[in-house]
Amino acid sequence: MFLEERQEKILELLEENGKVLVKELAEKFSVTEDSIRKDLAALEQDGKLKRTYGGAVVIREKLHVAEAIKRRTLDVEAKRKIAAAAFKLISPRDMIFLDISTINIALADLLIKSNNEYKVVTNMIDVMTILTLNPKIDVISIGGHINRSRDGFCGGMSYEYVSRLKPDISFIGAVGVDVKENSVSTYNIDEGITKAKVIQVSKRAYIVAQASKFSTDGNYNFASLDSLSGVITDSKPKSDICNAAENHGINIILP
């Protein structure tokens, strides 16, 4: 096996397992441990891993950035439709809260193209960056603990800031929307607690989620759907979901 092939295989094993050990790699590729150490040193120099005692681990920060970028490129057309439907619910001079959601990136794009004045509060870094392009938009950022994979802030400091706000309207992202169980979920608990607080203090709060989210689930339920003003999605869900939504009094908003 050529040197380049071996190093490529090492990276594949690293991606699968999160870490690799010098001794195990030497046995696997039938080479000396010194050869593996040189491989790891070369890969670290290229910024592809981080060496540790006895092996190497992934560079977590880069994986987080890659995850955030990947989410932005999925279901782009569906997200644009949802953003357009959300935009219609906004009135000039509203205080708007844009939560951590790639749909809200599309909504921010619509806001900066408008001639209206808005006050927008957000805890998502990409949304902040986009909104600063329009001087008519008063942008307020929520700080706190940065969640790199989610491209935004959450945690105790975020919760404290949010608790003092009274947004006219908020748009909240979600990992899963379970209409039959009347719940909406995410993966990160701190993020979920922040989302729940935004919903509580907002005059109107909407979940923004692709129709595919009606069949997925997170690990932490942060709100009941009937506590929201509605769910904005890109296409009509299946009939059983629509029936459950009607039974719970949940408003499903389509483009």
Contact yes or no for 150/143 (Cβ under 8 A): no
pLDDT at 73 over 80: no
Of 15, 175, 171, whose CA–CA distance to 106 is shortest? Answer: 171
Which CATH number fits the domain that encloses residue 20? 1.10.10.10
Taking CA atoms, 211 is separated from 208, 237, 252, in Å, by 10, 6, 10
Q: Do 163 and 49 belong to one domain?
A: no
Is residue 65 in a domain?
no
Q: Do 17 and 110 belong to one domain?
A: no
Stretch 191-197: mean pLDDT: 95
For the chain, give the percent of residues with pLDDT over 90: 70
Q: Do 82 and 114 belong to one domain?
A: yes
Is residue 54 in a domain?
yes
Q: Do 43 and 77 belong to one domain?
A: no
The tens digit of pLDDT for each residue in 103-156 reads 999 999 999 999 899 999 999 999 999 999 999 999 999 988 887 656 789 989
Query: Which residue's structure tokens are 């009274």?
Result: 166
Tokens of 189: 């608990």
pLDDT at 231: 97
The tens digit of pLDDT for each residue in 245-254 reads 998 899 999 9
Contact yes or no for 210/252 (Cβ under 8 A): no
pTM of the shown model: 0.73
Domains identified in the chain, total number: 2
pLDDT at 167 over 90: yes
pLDDT at 17: 79
pLDDT at 181: 92
Residue 61: pLDDT band with limits 50, 70, 90: very low
Q: Beta strand 95-98 with 55-57: parallel, antiparallel or unpaired?
A: unpaired
Q: Do 124 and 50 belong to one domain?
A: no
21-25, 71-75, 177-181, 187-191: segment of lowest average pLDDT = 71-75
Q: Do 212 and 108 belong to one domain?
A: yes
Residue 66: pLDDT band with limits 50, 70, 90: very low
Query: Which residue's structure tokens are 């009094």?
Result: 249
* Torsion over CA: 245, 101, 104, 143 (sign): positive
Longest dimension (CA), the chain: 68
Task: Report how far residue 137's alpha carbon sits from residue 119's, in angstroms, rounded to the nearest whole number.
Answer: 6
Is residue 63 in a domain?
no
- Half-sphere exposure of residue 176, counting CA atoms within 13 Å on the CB side? 17
Taking CA atoms, 20 is separated from 5, 51, 64, 105, 144, in Å, by 16, 9, 19, 37, 33
Task: Report how far residue 158's alpha carbon sits from residue 124's, in angstroms, rounded to the nearest whole number.
Answer: 11
Stretch 163-191: mean pLDDT: 94
| Domain of 16, in residue numbers | 3-58
The tens digit of pLDDT for each residue in 2-58 reads 888 899 999 989 877 778 999 999 999 999 999 999 999 999 888 888 899 999 987
